[in-house]
Amino acid sequence: MIVLMQVGAGRDAVAAVVARVEAAGCTAHETRDEGRAVLSVLGRGAAELREPLAALTGVERVVDVAPPWKLASREWRGTSTVVDVGGVAIGGERGAGGPLVIAGPCAVESWEQLESTARAVKAAGARLLRGGAFKPRTSPYAFRGLGAEGLRMLRAAGDACGLPVVTEILSPADIDLFVQHADALQVGARNMQNFPLLDEVGRVDKPVVLKRGLAATIEELLLAAEYVLARGNSRVILCERGIRTFETATRNTPDLAAIPLVKELSHLPILFDPSHSSGRRSLVAPLSRAAVAAGADGLLIEVHVRPEAALCDGPQALLPADFAALMHDLRAIDSALRR
């Protein structure tokens, strides 16, 4: 860790920093650069000194040398992690299996809606089924999902079609129910920093799909993954789903740079969600193609048999026929890049 002092900082200020460092069992080495003192702080536990040192008089800035996450980093584990979700492998090299796609409706609304959508996405080549039973909704007056009943329907639909199921958990209190019914637990964007929930999914033996928060940096996404890994669950799958920016023509701004960058920084797989990224049906296909070309380990796509009747996010749902056409393009890109 490096501590940059202010230009005007006197000997007393530097001495106070050194004393604080040494009190923590670390050592400080001073040099001068551009008229200010620069201290290299070494030793176990140096990372914990970040805030205490920044709080001292005369300190301008504290610079971390290592990233604050460990277990999630490529430095910790060089080979890419492959996570098994109900028999389907996510992550690793571009495989012969073609692009990995998780598809289904935003929300489970009825058996008929779910089962017809599930059959359609399976037929088109999706490998996992998604669908929300507990929905986080911005307005208290919106449809919030069928709850436990929806979860059981999702399980049944997945079993009927032969697709493992992924669904979002909102509350630590529901953990047993989700472990019983889902093949992977999704932590949504709004809960990326819901730490009691991260603790809980970190303690169970199920894969976790962790979505990037609307305002979360890539560093914060990896720190959220670190929570789960540090609790003992090593099966974490990340997901880029767009960030909030000044642009309002789309629901969010898809950050496709996050895909190759996460792969540089971490060994964990990363998915892309074109539906929430854009919020517009017409943009889902081009963004899906882009993500596969950029190297995403999979896609999470919303499909609905009748979007205009959807209780949630109809404007961004693909129709089954559009989804099938998209799958064709994705296979073509994937295949072209595997050669």
Site for a copy of itself in 257-316 (CB under 8 A): 257-261, 264, 277-278, 280-283, 286-287, 289-295, 307-310, 312-315
234: helix, coil or strand? coil
Token pair 């964990």 is found at 268
Q: Which is nearer to a copy of itself, 162 or 321 (CB)?
A: 321
Q: Which is nearer to a copy of itself, 85 or 310 (CB)?
A: 310
Q: Is 4 in the site for a copy of itself (CB under 8 A)?
A: yes
Q: Is 218 in the site for a copy of itself (CB under 8 A)?
A: yes
> Cβ of residue 72: shortest distance to a copy of itself, in angstroms?
10
209-230 as b/e, with b when 16 or more CB fall inside 10 Å? bbbbbeebebebbbbbbbbbbe
Q: Is 148 in the site for a copy of itself (CB under 8 A)?
A: no
Q: Is 2 in the site for a copy of itself (CB under 8 A)?
A: yes
Instruction: With beta carbons less than 8 A apart as the criterion, state whether 302 and 126 touch.
Output: no
* β-sheet bridge partners, residue 62: 3
Among 27, 119, 179, 220, binds a copy of itself (CB under 8 A): 220
Site size with a copy of itself, rule: CB under 8 A: 109
Q: Which of residues 49-68 bind a copy of itself (CB under 8 A)?
A: 51-56, 63, 65-66, 68
Point out which span in 85-93, 122-130, 158-166, 222-230 binds a copy of itself (CB under 8 A): 222-230
Cα separation, 114 vs 105, in Å, equals 7
- CB-count exposure of residue 87 (10 Å: 0-12, 13-18, 19+): exposed
Q: Which of residues 167-186 bind a copy of itself (CB under 8 A)?
A: 170-173
Cα separation, 300 vs 270, in Å, equals 11
